[in-house]
Each structure stands twice: as structure tokens, then as C-alpha cells.
Amino acid sequence: MTAQEQIQTGVVVDTNPATGTAVAEVKETDLSTLPDIFAKAREAQAIWAAKSFRERARHIQLMREYIVDRADDLARTVSESNGKTLTDALATEVLPCALACKWYAKNAEKHLKEKNRPGGSILFFNKRTHMLRVPLGVVGIISPWNYPLSIPFGEIVMGLMAGNAIILKVAAATPAVGRAIENIIAAGELPEGLFHHVVGSGSKVATGMFENGVNKLFFTGSVPAGKTLMAQAAETLTPVSLELGGNDPMIVLEDADLERATNGAAWAGFQNAGQSCGGVERIYVVDAVYDEFVNLLSRKTRQLRHGVGCKGFDVDIGSLTTAGQLRTVQQHVEDALSKGARIEAQSRPVGDVENGFFFPATVLTQVTDDMLTVCDETFGPVVAVQRVANEEEAIQKANASHLALTSSVWTRDNKRGRAIGARLQSGVTTVNDHLYSHGLSETPWGGWKESGIGRTHGPEGLEEMTQAKAVNWDILPSKRNIFWYPFDEATYNGIKNALHFVFPKGIGQLLSASLKLTPFLVKKMFTRWKT
């Protein structure tokens, strides 16, 4: 049954992409009820926003306890729905959710509480400013199928701790994970109506969100879909946060620990069958260590096993999640081979892989910059390794991409690695590691160029879930500011003396301006306007 047929029947069937068997049926949401859903969300949000951060944190704590207690069940649900291995599901989906609960519950108040803003000039000595972070209201989240649990759940927790209501739309390929998220949220005992899970066509749900006045939309997905949503959001000036993928470079310098570098390349390139926005896709290796790096990575790749990941622990790599993604990976590899690339190594299948969307972990060499797998996002278990003369060439090639999500530098010299990292065009750069910072709740996640706009995670992610509001007041009562009516020559000269007082050319001008400014200030601020 196609996705379109599933939606027409009102039931979305979740099919295990590794076996082709149905694992769940989820009822589609009647989108005519969206106005009622939004009304209930706004009503509940007003109640929720009035709660203290500590009160909100207690609800999040209940969710964390549920996640920890049911870690095995959650990992299996993700594995069966997405196709990744049980270990992958536990490590990169379940564990990050528990960590997110802890960090946001503990740190939201620190980053979102009311704060004093120091004055910028003595001329406004009578003014005080407090900065508030005000909840957005109703936040929409449209999440992808590659990390169907950890990506949306982290954003849900951020939004809740910031005081918002949440309306979630998970990917059509992984609806069973959306139902699992419903159960986690239910364990949090939130006010009724604060969270809603909507099942249906992504484009129709997005349109419904905009039509019903969603206050902000968080979207993770493809570049074309993100551009479409952004254009749609422009009609109502609805703010959006977009994470749209990456084509991440890995730079291996001549002083790198090649054992660690090849271990990291294998994991960050092939984990989740390569379906990671922040996974390694392009590897630039300095000439002096190129041959040794390729030999090591190839030997390790041949030892990897791909197969059905939900049935046990004798596989390293699961299946891709959709037939369309499998076709994309096949096309990219065929394009590379037709242009002269060489397959150095591939993983080996274990068990029955005939009914799933499997593609072996693949190391490509002799690749050129015009190949699809180099210039675009493959989003599969394929790494393209290129020889470069030095670090300058590596940096130039790494930055020559329309995507800029994450990158990594591999060297024994951390200072050198950080210096090169600062020159790389990406939202995140890691030294001697890759594809893990999404699991660090304290670090922001997002990219440059066509990798998207906005940030999730960390203090920056919390702030994205709020509106900034300044509250400013006078500490002493006064009748007028110095630049208020009525205007006369004294007003002009007074403002000019204020300018010289703040920016004097010398001590003489400072003293002269202050002597003239003081009586003008007193008169302007504390005497009535004579009418």
C-alpha cells in the first residue's frame, strides 16, 4: 500500500523497512478538527505558561523516568519503524531523550529567567531594563524519519520548558514512533490539550498549522521541502526554524591518530545506514597518510555486517528507511562509478536482507568534485575519500559545498584542530570526533547556507522557543526626557552638550559640557511644560 493509499483510507501503516512487514497501524487525524486542536492548545498553554520552571520540570522528570524504565521497548519501536539496529536506537535515540529531559529541566530557568540589562550610556542613567523570554504560544514541530524519536522529542522538551503548547507531526514513514512519543508525553501528566500528535500528509498538516496561526514552526527535512515551507510561512510572517541536512566533510591531517580516525569515519559514515544529517560523507586525507588511512578504513568496513537490526545484536548496520532513499544512494554510487570512482570496500550481509531497503557500507576512492556523492547529500552508508596535498586544500574543498551543517578535523594537535575548525563553514565543528554533538543538550544544533536557519538545542534552542521582550522603566519620577517637546534653542544646545559630555575631546570639553548639561537636565526632567 502506498503512502497516498494509506492516507486515503484514514489509516497509516508503519512498515518495517528491513523486513517489509507491517508493525503498526495509526489512525490519521481528521484535519477538519485542527481549529479545535489549536483552541485547546491555546487554552492549555495559558495554564502551562503560568507555572514556574520548577513546576514544569517536575512533569519533564516524569517523562524521563518513563523513558528510562521503558528503554528496551522504545528502542525496539524505533528499530522496527526506522530500520536501524537496536543498539543504534538505544544509543542515538533513547539515551539522548533522557539526557534532554535532565538538561532542559535543570537549565531552562537559568537561561530563560528575567535578567537585568546593563545601561549603555550615562545619558540614560534614570532608565532600567529587564529582559524577558516570553513563550511563543503554540509551537508546531514537523519531524523526519531518520531520528524519529530523538529529534522531535528534544524540541518538544525545549518547547515545554519554555512554556509553550506543542503540535507534533512525525514522518509518514515512522508513525509508530509518534505513538510512542504520545505515551512518553502522557507519562508527564501535562494539562489536557497542551500536546497534540497529528497524523497525516505533511504538506496538508503544515498548511493547516499556518492557517490556524501556529506561532512558530520547527522543521527538519530536505532542502526543497524547507524552502517550500519557508515560502508558505512568508505569507503570514510565521517564524520558522529549519534544519535541512548536510554533506559533512572530515579532514584527516598527517599527524592524526589513524586508528581513531578510521574508527570515527566508519561510525559517523555508516551509523543509521548513513542517514544522518550530520554524518560523514566527504573525507579529505592529507597525502602523507592517505594510503594507510584507506587501507585501515577498508579493512574495518569489510568487517561490518548489515542486516535486520531489530532481531538481535549480530549486525552493525540496519536498513535504509524508505525505498526512495535507497534509490538515491544507488544513483549516487552509480554516478560515481560511471565517472571513474572505485569501490574499495563494502560491508557484508548477514541473515535475510532480500526484503529490506539495504545498501552495504561503502568506501569510495578516486572520487572527483563533479560526482553527486561529493557535491550533494547522499544520505546513505557511503563515504567518498579524496587525497589532498595539505590542510589548505582540505579546507578549501571542505568549504566548497552548498550545505554547511557539521564538520570535523582529525589531528593530535588540539590547538591546530581548533584553529582549522574555526575556518570551516559549518554550524558545528568537532575535533577528533564526529556525529555526536546532536546528543549534547547543551550545544546548539543547526547549520549555515542551505543547511537551514535557526538553532535547536542548548541555550540557543531554548531562546528559539521564546520571544525576546524588553521592559524598561525610570527609577526616578520625571516630567520629560531631554529630547521631548517643546523644542527651542536651549533644547538643541542641551542635546549637543550631552553629545560632548559622552564623547569629549578632552578634559576641558568634558567639564564645560557637564556644567552646561546639568541645569538643562534638571529643568527638562523636573519642571512642568508651560502651556
Residue-wise pLDDT for 436-458, tens only, equals 999 999 999 999 999 999 999 99
Measured distance CA(193)–CA(48) in Å, rounded:
10
State yes or no: pLDDT of 6 exceeds 90: no
Out of 28, 93, 155, 243, the active site residue is 243
| Residue 451 within a domain | no
Please provide the DSSP assignment of 188-212 as one string. TTPPTTSEEE--S-HHHHHHHHHHT
Residue-wise pLDDT for 399-423, tens only, equals 999 999 999 999 999 999 999 999 9
Residue-wise pLDDT for 450-507, tens only, equals 999 999 999 999 999 999 999 999 999 999 999 999 999 999 999 999 999 999 999 9
Q: Provide the residue type at 346 as one letter.
A: Q
Q: Is 446 helix (H, G, I), strand (E, B) or coil?
A: coil
237 and 308 part of one domain? no
Q: Which of the listed residues 449, 469, 489 is the one where a domain comes to its end?
A: 469
Please state the rounded mean pLDDT for residues 285-307.
98
| Residue 453 within a domain | no
Cβ pair 298, 150 in contact under 8 A: no
The count of structural domains within the chain is: 3
Assign residue 294 the CATH number of its domain: 3.40.309.10
Reply yes or no on whether 114 is catalytic: no
382 and 501 part of one domain? no
Q: What is the pLDDT of residue 531?
A: 86
DSSP H/E element including 45: helix 34-49
State yes or no: pLDDT of 7 exceeds 80: no
Q: Is 365 helix (H, G, I), strand (E, B) or coil?
A: strand
State yes or no: pLDDT of 127 exceeds 80: yes
Please state the rounded mean pLDDT for residues 243-255.
97
Measured distance CA(156)–CA(314) in Å, rounded:
33
Percent of the chain residues topping a pLDDT of 90: 97
What residue spans of 50-141 are helical by DSSP H? 53-69, 71-82, 86-89, 95-112
Please state the rounded mean pLDDT for residues 267-281.
98
265 and 202 part of one domain? no
Q: What is the pLDDT of residue 4?
A: 41
Give the model's confidence band at 63: pLDDT under 50 very low, under 70 low, under 90 confident, else very high. Answer: very high
Please provide the DSSP assignment of 371-396 as one string. SHHHHS---SSEEEEEEESSHHHHHH
268 and 235 part of one domain? no
Average pLDDT, the chain: 96
Cβ pair 111, 460 in contact under 8 A: no
C-alpha cell at 128: 532600567
Q: Provide the residue type at 85 as one letter.
A: T
Task: Give the list of residues 6+ apart from residue 359 with CB closer than 8 angstroms, or none.
Answer: 273, 306, 320, 326, 329, 330, 380, 381, 382
Q: What is the pLDDT of residue 3?
A: 44
Per the listing, cell 534544519 goes with 243
265 and 318 part of one domain? yes
C-alpha cell at 418: 581548533
Asked, as a colleague might, if the bond just before 486 is cis with ω within 30 of 0, I would say yes
Give the model's confidence band at 10: pLDDT under 50 very low, under 70 low, under 90 confident, else very high. Answer: confident
Range of the domain at 283: 248-438
DSSP H/E element including 406: strand 406-410
